[in-house]
Amino acid sequence: MIEQKLNELYSKFKNELAGVSDRAAVLNLKSLYLGKQGPITEILSNMKNLSIEERKVVGPVVNGLKEKIQQDTDAFLQKLEIEEINQSLLKNKIDLTLRDSVLTNIQNHGGAHPVWAIQREIEDVFLSMGFDIIDGPHIEDEYHNFEALNIPADHPARDMQDTFWFETEARPGKFRHLLRTHTSTIQVRGMKQRRPPFRFIAPGKVFRCERTDASHEMVFHQLEGMLVDKDVSVAHLIYFMKTLLSEIFKREVEVRLRPGFFPFVEPGFELDIKCLLCKGQGCSVCKHVGWVELLPCGLIHPNVLKSGDINPQEWNGFAFGLGLDRLVMMKYAIDDIRHIHSGDLRFVEQFKSY
């Protein structure tokens, strides 16, 4: 009689358990059956009215039912937990092969600035052609910036570059300090550190006290290059420059060579490329002439070789100074140099994949 009642109770519990779907409902059901007010507690408290023989039979059956309800609810809770884990894994699925989406899900990651990216690209090209990469200080003295590059104090070429001078006392025999106006300063440092034949590039920031506009900034980037060897000719120079430009633009670009004056080269040239932005039609970047000055270059002046303790009777070479910001502008069709250092995230975020 009591056994039948317990069986009915258990199948009622099983039915109700099948109908619940969340943790709170399962716990509620468990306390309904096993709690103080529940039917099992009631049966157990009524045991005192039974005979010893009856108790011996009923006791284990009731305890068995209690245990089964306990086990069933535990198993159900465990199943729920596994389902929850699976569901959250499914929802936050991460495909590790999708590099970008993973990174943007995890955090708002940064990316290489376009000037830095193009610098790395050029460094790779030159490394593959046997060049070293060297560095020099931003704060320079007028010896490295001018004097050693064949620009003595009274030379009008000093006015070609508007210079930020430091307010150091002008003392006889002492060189004044300045923010380097070009990376050519590293030519002197590089020559003194090595013996020919050698070839190196030197990228970095340069500073000019200039009024800014769409194509001028006070801080911009250059990449200096120098090759010293025997019997170097303009043909070598053109070969290296063309290789560089076609690697960067991944296509043949139209170039022209004009005579250019720079005291540290002789002959000196301006290598221009046809404006990739307006395709030669004229725009603010090319100052409406259709061509952009990109690569001033030339054969190293004997006086400069002498500054580097190199005998110009024995050795010669070429040098060039590439404007990295202009290159970025050409490559990505940016019409105002001021965007490059604006720090505007809407600008830099466009280059995140680099």
CA pair distance 275, 286, nearest whole angstrom: 6
Q: Which is nearer to ligand DAH, 13 or 315 (CB)?
A: 315
Binds ligand DAH (CB under 6 A): choice among 13, 198, 207, 262: 262
Q: Least distance from C-beta 149 to ligand DAH, angstroms?
A: 8
Could you tell me if 301 and 283 are in contact, meaning their C-beta atoms sit under 8 angstroms apart? no
User: Which residue minimizes CB distance to ligand DAH?
Assistant: 321
Using the rule CB under 6 A, is 321 a contact of ligand DAH? yes
Site for ligand DAH in 104-143 (CB under 6 A): none
Binds ligand DAH (CB under 6 A): choice among 190, 196, 296, 317: 296
Query: Tokens 């039948």 sit at which residue?
Result: 4
Could you tell me if 170 and 264 are in contact, meaning their C-beta atoms sit under 8 angstroms apart? no
Using the rule CB under 6 A, is 298 a contact of ligand DAH? yes
Using the rule CB under 6 A, is 308 a contact of ligand DAH? no
Using the rule CB under 6 A, is 207 a contact of ligand DAH? no
Q: Which is nearer to ligand DAH, 25 or 232 (CB)?
A: 232
CA pair distance 44, 63, nearest whole angstrom: 9
Window of 14-22, 60-68, 129-137, 296-304 that interacts with ligand DAH by CB under 6 A: 296-304
Start-to-end C-alpha separation, the chain: 80
Binding letters toward ligand DAH, positions 224-243, x by CB under 6 A:
x-------------------
**How would DSSP label each residue in 72-86?**
HHHHHHHHHHHHHHH
Neighbour count for residue 244 (Cβ, 10 Å): 22
Binds ligand DAH (CB under 6 A): choice among 122, 244, 297, 327: 297
Contacts of 50 (CB under 8 A, 6+ apart): 58
* Three-point CA angle 307, 158, 324, nearest 5°: 80
Window of 8-16, 50-58, 273-281, 318-326 that interacts with ligand DAH by CB under 6 A: 318-326
Window of 5-13, 29-37, 70-78, 293-301 that interacts with ligand DAH by CB under 6 A: 293-301
CA pair distance 161, 166, nearest whole angstrom: 15
CA pair distance 175, 170, nearest whole angstrom: 8
Tell me the site size for ligand DAH, rule CB under 6 A.
12
Burial class from Cβ neighbours inside 10 Å (0-12, 13-18, 19+) for residue 96 reads: exposed
Q: Which is nearer to ligand DAH, 182 or 326 (CB)?
A: 182
Mark residue 99 as left, alpha or beta (left: phi above 0; alpha: psi -120 to 50; beta: remaining). alpha
Using the rule CB under 6 A, is 319 a contact of ligand DAH? yes
Binds ligand DAH (CB under 6 A): choice among 30, 272, 320, 348: 320
Window of 44-52, 64-72, 74-82, 319-327 that interacts with ligand DAH by CB under 6 A: 319-327
Q: What does each C-alpha distance from 315 to 176, 236, 246, 300, 336 come to in angstroms?
A: 31, 15, 29, 10, 41
Using the rule CB under 6 A, is 184 a contact of ligand DAH? yes
Where on the chain is the footprint of ligand DAH (CB under 6 A)? 182, 184, 224, 262, 265, 268, 296-298, 319-321
